[in-house]
Amino acid sequence: MKKTILLAATLAASMGAAAQGQVNIICSVQADWCNMMATVYSRTTGTKVNMSMKGSGEALAQLIAEKDNPKTDIWFGGTGDPHLQAAEQGLTLEYKSPLLPQLYPWARKQAEDAKYRTVGVYLGPVGFGFNTELLARKKAQAPKSWADLLKPEYKGEVQMANPASSGTAYTVIATLVQIMGEDKAFDYLKSLHKNISTYTRSGTAPIKAAARGETMVSISFVHDVTTEAIQGFPVGSATPSEGTGAEIGSMSIVKGARNMEVAKKFYEWALTPGAQQFGVAAKQFQLPSNSATAIDPRMPDPKKIKLINYDYAKYGASAERRRLIAKWEKEINSLPR
Pairing mode, if any, of strands 196-200 and 119-131? unpaired
At 186 the pLDDT is: 98
Fold of 2-123+247-303: D-Maltodextrin-Binding Protein; domain 2 (3.40.190)
- In one letter, which amino acid is 247? E
22 contacts 47 by C-beta, under 8 angstroms: yes
pLDDT digits (tens, 9 = 90+) for 20-35: 899 999 999 989 999 9
* H/E segment holding residue 182: helix 182-193
* H/E segment holding residue 114: none
pLDDT digits (tens, 9 = 90+) for 203-234: 899 999 999 999 999 999 999 999 999 999 99
**Rounded to whole angstroms, how far apart are CA atoms 171 and 153?**
25
Measured over the CA atoms of residue 315, residue 316, residue 320 and residue 324, the dihedral's sign is: positive
Does the structure show a pLDDT above 50 at 13? no
At 337 the pLDDT is: 73
- Given this chain, do its domains 2-123+247-303 and 125-245+317-333 carry the same CATH topology? yes
pLDDT digits (tens, 9 = 90+) for 243-262: 999 999 999 999 999 999 99
At 166 the pLDDT is: 87
Does the structure show a pLDDT above 70 at 183? yes
Output the CA angle 29-193-165, nearest 5 degrees.
30
pLDDT digits (tens, 9 = 90+) for 40-79: 999 999 999 999 999 888 899 999 999 999 999 999 999 8
**Rounded to whole angstroms, how far apart are CA atoms 150 and 158?**
10
**Rounded to whole angstroms, how far apart are CA atoms 84 and 115?**
9
At 303 the pLDDT is: 83
pLDDT-based confidence at residue 16 (cuts at 50, 70, 90): very low
* H/E segment holding residue 245: none
Q: How many CB atoms lie within 10 A of CB 232?
A: 8
Domain coordinates in residue numbering, the chain: 2-123+247-303, 125-245+317-333
**Rounded to whole angstroms, how far apart are CA atoms 243 and 309?**
10
End-to-end CA distance of the chain: 45
At 167 the pLDDT is: 84
User: Which range is least confidently modeled, 15-19, 195-199, 202-206, 276-280?
Assistant: 15-19
At 19 the pLDDT is: 57
pTM, entire model: 0.84
Pairing mode, if any, of strands 74-76 and 158-161? unpaired
Q: How many CB atoms lie within 10 A of CB 161?
A: 27
Report the pLDDT averaged over residues 137-148. 96
φ, ψ of residue 195 in degrees (nearest 5): -100, -5
The CATH code of domain 125-245+317-333 reads 3.40.190.10
Q: How many CB atoms lie within 10 A of CB 182?
A: 13
φ, ψ of residue 86 in degrees (nearest 5): -65, -40
At 318 the pLDDT is: 85
